[in-house]
Structure 1
Amino acid sequence: MSAGKPYILGLTGSIGMGKSAVAAMFAGLGVPVFDADAAVHQLQGPGGALLPAIEEAFPGTTGPQGVDRPKLGAAVFGDKDALKRLEKIVHPAVGAMRQAFLAEHAETPLIVFDIPLLFEKGGWEQVDAVVVVSAPPEAQRERVLARPGMTAEKFAQILKLQVPDAEKRARADYVIDTGTSLAETRHAVQHLVHRLTGRE
């Protein structure tokens, strides 16, 4: 790894694979984690920087609590042009937050970018390596269907929009398996951190 520039690890994985748990493990080991979803929530939450632009593009979809997710979802669902308009508002703002995060942690040897749709929406070009969080399909299904409001139909729709797990694993530089015990997963994360920061 080059001195003075953090090594950027892109963290991704399909729904229900345990990506959030793995991101927390990296953070627990002192690795700064940029959470793209959390950045979007901040930008679209109460007083969020993107509310005026979103309201202008999609009238009636924001309020005192920030973006009304069901209303905005309904406004863009199944409409590729509307989704593109929304992405043009959101992506540059998230990109700016990511750059600021990078500048803030410029002296750190390793940084994790937690990007759920890394392969679907692009972004792998901006990282040094990609780690995919994966688990057997039956474990994934069980986890997802246990979520409030989730149905088998919704799960099937989400899977259709995501790059298949097998393809993600094939394109990954590293794979963290969460189909094992938490201790084993934590050990795998620790091993990877040590490897990438030259501590082994």
Structure 2
Amino acid sequence: MKKLAITGSIGMGKSTVAAMFEQRGVPVFDADAVVRRLQGPGGALVPEIERMFPGTTGEGGVDRDALSKVVLGDPDKLSRLEALVHPAVHHERTRFILEHGDRPALLFDIPLLFETGGEGQFDAVITVSAPPEVQEKRVLARPGMTPEKFAAIRARQLPDAEKRARADHVIDTSGSLEDSERQVEAILACLGLGQGA
């Protein structure tokens, strides 16, 4: 089984590209989606997050905006949150691997792959990229996003040029969806996976 990682900075089109791999038969583990489930209504991490950071949860689970205000800009609080979340995500990832043990390839969608030093666990790393002006336009179009919030998120992420340099494969999403799909198919072919991986 080949373990592939897909990463990329905010607004680069990573989720869209990951879905293209999934449509071609490669199961996708979405770390962000797992975190949202663990922190959502009835999520396993909600009580502990409330204990650590009172007032950041409610009936809908973790209030992501409230939690962001508490931990962004405070390295100690952010480290405490990560020490809670990362082991829970790792457990879910192990379960995903066991559930799909018969597949020739799995794709792991990990936004902060290089930042957390996790790239060595994978057979190949794919970085999704787009020019800065495309990224900014996409991100600022998101509901609730502000230039300040975007700057804070980007400050935690490695520069795009460095991610591109460290990747085994780069998918440029500045063109059409069809263009991105062609790049996905070329990577699968390069890895010997082809259609129906």
TM-score (norm 2): 0.93
In structure 1, the residue matched to 2:144 is 149
Range moving further from structure 2, 190-199 or 48-57 = 190-199
Tell me how far apart the structure 2 counterparts of residues 131 and 175 of structure 1 sit (CA, whole Å).
6
1:71 match: secondary structure: helix
CA contact (8 A) 2:104 2:193 kept: no
> Could you tell me the percent identity over the aligned residues?
61
Partner in structure 2 of residue 127 of structure 1: 122
List structure 1 segments (4+ residues) > 6 angstroms apart after TM superposition.
Answer: none
Q: What amino acid is the match of 2:132?
A: P
The 3 A distance-change label for structure 1 pair 136 and 47 is: same
CA-CA distance at 1:162 after TM superposition: 1.1
- Report 1:104-183 matches (<5 A): 104-183=99-178
Distance 1:58 1:143, change over 3 A: same
For residue 98 of structure 1, what is the amino acid of its counterpart? Answer: R
- Cα RMSD after superposing both structures: 1.5
Query: Could you tell me which residue of structure 2 aligns to residue 30 of structure 1?
Result: 25
Task: Decide whether aligned partners of structure 1 residues 53 and 180 sit closer, same or farther in structure 2, where only a CA change above 3 A counts.
Answer: same
Cα pair 2:185 2:194 within 8 Å, conserved = no
1:41 positional shift: 0.4
Cα separation, partners in 2 of 1:118 and 1:136, compared to 1, 3 Å: same
Q: After superposition, what is the alpha-carbon deviation per residue over 1:72-116, rounded to whole angstroms, capped at 9, x for unaligned?
A: 222212111111111111000000000000011111111100001
1:45 pairs with 2:45 = no
Question: Aligned partners of 1:199 and 1:125: how far apart in 2?
Answer: 24
SS of residue matched to 2:41: coil
Q: Which consecutive residues of structure 1, in runs of 5 or more, have no partner in the other structure?
A: 1-5
Does residue 1:60 correspond to 2:71, yes or no?
no
Instruction: State the alpha-carbon separation in 2 of the partners of residues 93 and 27 from structure 1.
Output: 23
Q: Which residue of 2 aligns with 1:20?
A: 15
> Is residue 197 of structure 1 aligned with residue 196 of structure 2?
no
Residue 133 of structure 1: SS of its match in structure 2?
A: strand
Q: How many Å separate the matches in 2 of 1:150 and 1:58?
A: 23
Offset at residue 155 of structure 1 (A): 2.5
Q: Which runs of 5+ in 2 are unaligned?
A: none
Match of 1:100 in 2: 95
Following superposition, the deviation at residue 147 of structure 1 comes to 1.7
Aligned residues: 195
Tell me if the contact between 1:134 and 1:165 (Cα under 8 Å) persists in the aligned partners.
yes
Question: What is the DSSP-based 3-state SS (H/G/I as helix, E as strand, rest coil) of the residue aligned with 1:121?
Answer: coil
Shift of 1:187: 1.0
1:185 maps to a residue whose letter is S
